[in-house]
Structure 1
Amino acid sequence: MTVEVLDRGARLRVARRLHLMGGAALMRGLSALVLAGMAAPAIAHAPDLNVPFSAPSNYTAHARLFQERVTRVGKTPVWQIEFQGMNLVVVEGSDGLVLLDTGMNRDVATAALAKIRTQISTKPIKAIIYTHHHPDHVNGAGVFVPPADVARGKVPIFAASNFLKELSDEGVATLPIVAARSAYMFGFSLAGKEAEDFHVGCCGALGKAGKNESAYIPPTQFVDVDGGRDIEIAGVKLHLFHTGGEAASHIAAWLPDYQVLISGDEVQGPTFPNLHSMRGTKMRDANRWIEALRRMERYGAAWMVPMHGPVVEGAPQIKALLTRYEDAIQYTHDQTIRLINKGLTQDDLPDALGPLPDWLRSEPYTTEYYGTAADAARSYYVGYISWFSGDATDLAPTPRVERARREVTLMGGRTPVLAAANRAFEQGDAQWAAELATLLIAIDHQDMEARRLKAAAFRKLGYATYNSNRRGFYLMGALELEGKLQQAGLTARYMNPDNIRKMPVALMLEQIRYKVDPKRAGAAAHTVALTIAGESDPWLLELRNSTLKFRRGEADGAPVVRLDRNALGELVSGNQTVDALVKAGAITGRGSAALKQIFSSLDLTVQPINLVIR
């Protein structure tokens, strides 16, 4: 389809709004047939908003690809553990084991360790390799090895040299909003049939949240992002090399003696990859990802072991999969750039790009169960160009709520807009019904008629899609609109206060950097040196012009406070105040007044985040 034809979709959306505003004269040049199609008589009654549950047959069939099992990779000493939405890989050496990735939390790791001990080996774990920084790969390490052994260098933990930076950028800086969006994307509050038939397109069912207690241990050995690293553990040779596609910190592992490639998430399970994640990530570098796939293909592996989904066997099958995967990613990326260079914006790109062509489709690895081409296209526009479309109208837009109020007024008020939304829903146009209801909800968050209508529209859209990310956002959004979300604890999988208190000091301080409230801090300047028990050097913490800075080093004459990591965690999590900890003797030193001033300038409140009603 041509760009000109596809662009009618954007024009149609504008036409619908203007038609409701009564501006037929404004529509000269648009097809009279289009307007006639929107001029159906108003429905005098409210439509039936009971949407019967359904799920596409390919979506439910896809769930069967994910099994909880332990699989030996041929006759090699490599084992894959598929477990609750994530995989772990064990390599058995002469006198010990190498573990690649550690699971989402302590509970998952404990269950995985039991499988290792009963089905694989009782040998000690001699090394851990983190394929990348995402929480489902790193938060179980302390279950498998004693942290003290890691600290003494007895058990190395390998990761990419940019691992800690990427963990900070995506796992700390934006943690509150990513936690909320993840809860929607992964359907954390779904129940009944909606939960029973829900699975994450890359990974399968995620299992129950539990306490989600982290057992993360920071890495101690690093793989350069511009090269690789050869290691030998327990008599097993591994070549670790940076790939950097699905995550900038990604590494893969090649076992030359066994022709086994451990691909991590560069093959993101049996699905079209998440070239952009709606939960919130930085733009994923498609060219890096393409090069990663090419590099992995050159090994000619007999076995490929991903961190989501089953083992892939056979050099021809692996080559074909990697080639198709590469081409699907490059097609999406390159065609988006082509369209951007023709002047299309992020609003135009999804329709203009369209679905993958038939020649790139193969079930299930390029079917959009997890990522979608449309979502990637929007991400590429912002990542390469800007948020700005080029139309100066976008530079200082009318605030969203005020714009909704003005549009509804031009359309004749709430009654005709709600009637039009009901009519659209009954006629099968759930998207248009949701868009119109959104205007009314923006004006009045308590407009329950509009909220129930939008919730029903979301269910129609959600039940129809086999993309798990979109399905999650639709169905969780419906619960929010109906007032059925228990916001307290919704983000516990990511925002467990106990986990915050266990973070390395650098990550604790990085987190509060983003919580300075300029109304409280203003232009004030305060500096304090933190002497933390067990840390060799102090941390210098400085608040200046509503910006918080920290570094290791000398106190430079700053007043000093003494505390341990637990006390710092209590402060950072907002669980305790400086005054209370001073009174308890957990903070000592003349710098407590400066520390109080700094923490009094922080917004440490944890508030529920609504994504739909705002």
Structure 2
Amino acid sequence: MATKHSSQEGTTPMAQNPKPATTFTADVNKAALAKYAMQDRADFHDVDRGFIAGFGDRLVSDDGTLIYDGTPLAYIADDAPAPDSVNPSLWRQSQLIKRAGLYEVVPGLYQVRLSAALTIVDAPDGLVIIDTSTSVRLAKAGLELFRREMKNDKPVVAVIYTHTHFDHYAGVKGVVEEADVVAGRIPIIAPGTIESFDRLAIGENVVTGHAMSRRMAYTFGLLLPPSDRGRVTIGLSGGFDLMNTQMSYISPTDGITRTGEVRTLGGWTFEFLYAPDTEAPEEFHIWIPEIKALTCAENANHTMHNIQTLRGARTRDARNFARYIDETLVRWGDEAEVHWGSHTWPVWGNANVVTFLESQRDMYKYIHDQALRQANQGLTPLEAAEIVELPDALGKKWYNRFYHGGLHHNVRAVFSKELGFWDGDPASILPLLPEEHAKRHVALIGRDKILAEGSKAFDAGDYRWAVQILHHLVFADPGDVEAKQLQADAYEQLGYQQEVPQYRAIFLTAAKELREGVATKGKISTDTQDTILAMPIHLLFDFAGVHLIGERANDLDVRVNFTFSDFGDEWTMWVRNGVLNARKGHVDNAQLTVAGPKVVLAALLLQPSRANEIIEQAHLSTEGDLGVLDTFASVMDTFEPDFNIVTP
């Protein structure tokens, strides 16, 4: 499926307007109202609590770059009923989550809520920044908004990353100068060891960066027009500050590896509960006793979270979500007066905090236990996902609904985490590739009969079946315009019915690309120059390794010594048996030795086809056979970020 795409019949299809909801979709969404506690409007009070100031309709950074645009969300009014093309639960969440701006959580604790919140602790002796949002420009603008509105010029005395996802560290250079961190004037505190945090944060977003970015464009609807027939919101936030992202990274200086560790920052106490292998591979919860404020980072939100992200990341442990939330309740449940999150609005009052955390704990435990119960009954992941439902005591809680994770894929994720990728069906171990299977399927049944069945299913409102049966035609012949248009129509209606915004976005993006071809704009790239250069040296070699075309390199024997002059580190890289390896230290039999700063050697390593130009411009010191770099370049792949998904 992930083959490089080519233009279809030499032309670029014209953009097409989304179609309205059919009567079947309108009826499905109206019927869904009965599942939800629509009479519970408490969130509409809480979401505005503590509001101080917003950004206006649009926010432009100092360099003239648009970094927030709230105008596409104006039609999502608080009193507007859900359109036929939007699931009513997702519409309600979108009404809440579209807000952005500066809020007081409690005196001394503030949040600038964007796609990911910038949390500011106004401690007696300085500001402690907890998570830095998605972008340098956004973080800088958020801190400036706080300083302007609160008349506060205290210095930033510490930064805390709650976990390893880019939307929580990428804005760091908007709130601190790297030189101050390197000099030890401003600590950056993070869960895990420094090496582990670097490896897991940067590795996820760079080594798998192209694949993740393409999938992220689908799951967050970044290619969709903003409207009730396109991208509404992304469930955790409005999502209209994800344009022109400017990601940065500074390595932590202080790692938390034990629950109960305490740091005094700005004159206040910060106590940590280490919670690895939960929503992120490295994560912690934070308790600030002076203001009785607690966060479980992204292990507790106004949404069900992902056990397996659809954008692509390591599968999480649902049991650990429950385990660490319960440990948090034991430690601080009797005292906490507010729980703040990384994306959504806080929960106030001890009784409400305890109820919220207990319910989130039980939701994840229920998913884990019931998935494995069904597995032990012999069900496959898909079979289990079709029948597991949350009990009303959990499922009727708005904060347990499916605005980021979805129950259907989370049940399947528990199978994946605990039992592996195989679903237990022998026919699925060595299946035909989708394109080959489609061709044989069409040859057996006949194109016209399949198209007629797809049309019949669409006309009956049976959109899941329409999508599946037409998939064979599209993969057997991507030039079959009639089949693609009909499948696009079915994907679209299926998208309109979804409560999970990521399901909606995937289906609507599929429809858009079937009609118009693969888009090349609107995506977020996580493997930015700043993050690549922040990679530990061993990860640079890992990143190079996934570019190696193994079958071309079977007979090669390449040995290169690297001296990273700005770090004083010596490394050897070798290619043998179709594999790129590296380790610290030089070897005597290297064919080439290259010395220079990390930024230049990274460029040489990842762009060896430009070796001569890089060496000449940077005046690199070399000794040995430069022809080795030509050989190396001949077996290094380049990645097409816009690979096909909805066609072969």
Q: TM-score range by the shorter chain?
A: 0.7 to 0.9
| Pairing 1:80–2:104 present | no
* Structure 2 counterparts to residues 47-446 of structure 1, below 5 A: 50-52=19-21, 54-66=85-97, 67-75=99-107, 77-83=108-114, 85-120=115-150, 121-161=152-192, 162-194=196-228, 198-210=232-244, 212-224=245-257, 226-244=258-276, 245-267=278-300, 269-298=301-330, 299-300=332-333, 301-353=336-388, 355-411=389-445, 413-446=446-479
Deviation at 1:325, TM superposition (A): 0.7
Given residue 566 of structure 1, which amino acid in structure 2 is its aligned partner? Answer: V
**8 A contact 1:200–1:206 mirrored in 2:** no
State TM-score, norm by structure 2.
0.82
Deviation at 1:554, TM superposition (A): 4.4
User: Once the two structures are superposed, what CA deviation does each residue of 1:543-583 show, in whole Å capped at 9, x if it has no partner?
Assistant: 22122222333455534202323323434554961122123
Residues 312-321 or 374-383, more deviating: 374-383
**8 A contact 2:128–2:157 mirrored in 1:** yes
Task: State the distance in 1 between where 2:106 and 2:616 align.
Answer: 62
Could you say which residue in structure 2 is the equivalent of 1:568?
601
Could you say which residue in structure 2 is the equivalent of 1:510?
542
**8 A contact 1:116–1:122 mirrored in 2:** no
Q: Residue 375 of structure 1: SS of its match in structure 2? A: helix
- What are the ranges of 5 or more consecutive residues in structure 1 without an aligned counterpart? 1-48
User: Once the two structures are superposed, what CA deviation does each residue of 1:176-219 show, in whole Å capped at 9, x if it has no partner?
Assistant: 11111111111111114257751112233242411x22221111
Q: Residue 636 of structure 2: SS of its match in structure 1? A: coil
Task: State the distance in 1 between where 2:396 and 2:131 align.
Answer: 29
Given residue 308 of structure 1, which amino acid in structure 2 is its aligned partner? Answer: H
User: Once the two structures are superposed, what CA deviation does each residue of 1:129-164 show, in whole Å capped at 9, x if it has no partner?
Assistant: 100010100111112111111112111111112322
Task: State the distance in 1 between where 2:618 and 2:281 align.
Answer: 43
Alignment coverage as a number of residue pairs: 559
Task: State the distance in 2 between where 1:61 and 1:493 align.
Answer: 30
Given residue 207 of structure 2, which amino acid in structure 1 is its aligned partner? Answer: A
Given residue 137 of structure 1, which amino acid in structure 2 is its aligned partner? Answer: H
**8 A contact 1:501–1:568 mirrored in 2:** no
Task: State the distance in 2 between where 1:515 and 1:500 align.
Answer: 14
- Cα gap change, 1:572/1:187 in structure 2, threshold over 3 Å: closer, same or farther? farther
Q: Residue 222 of structure 2: SS of its match in structure 1? A: coil
Residues 522-531 or 549-558, more deviating: 549-558
| Pairing 1:454–2:487 present | yes
User: Once the two structures are superposed, what CA deviation does each residue of 1:101-150 show, in whole Å capped at 9, x if it has no partner?
Assistant: 11111121121121232134211111111000101001111121111111
- Cα gap change, 1:187/1:202 in structure 2, threshold over 3 Å: closer, same or farther? same
* Structure 2 counterparts to residues 407-556 of structure 1, below 5 A: 407-411=441-445, 413-487=446-520, 489-497=521-529, 499-501=531-533, 503-555=535-587
**8 A contact 1:213–1:499 mirrored in 2:** no
**8 A contact 1:51–1:459 mirrored in 2:** no
Q: Residue 577 of structure 1: SS of its match in structure 2? A: helix
**8 A contact 2:214–2:641 mirrored in 1:** no
**8 A contact 1:567–1:586 mirrored in 2:** no
- What are the ranges of 5 or more consecutive residues in structure 2 without an aligned counterpart? 1-17, 22-83
Higher relative contact order (CA 8 A, sep 6+): 2
Given residue 367 of structure 2, which amino acid in structure 1 is its aligned partner? Answer: T
**8 A contact 2:280–2:316 mirrored in 1:** yes
**8 A contact 1:160–1:250 mirrored in 2:** yes
Q: Residue 214 of structure 2: SS of its match in structure 1? A: helix
State TM-score, norm by structure 1.
0.86
**8 A contact 2:236–2:343 mirrored in 1:** yes
**8 A contact 1:172–1:507 mirrored in 2:** no
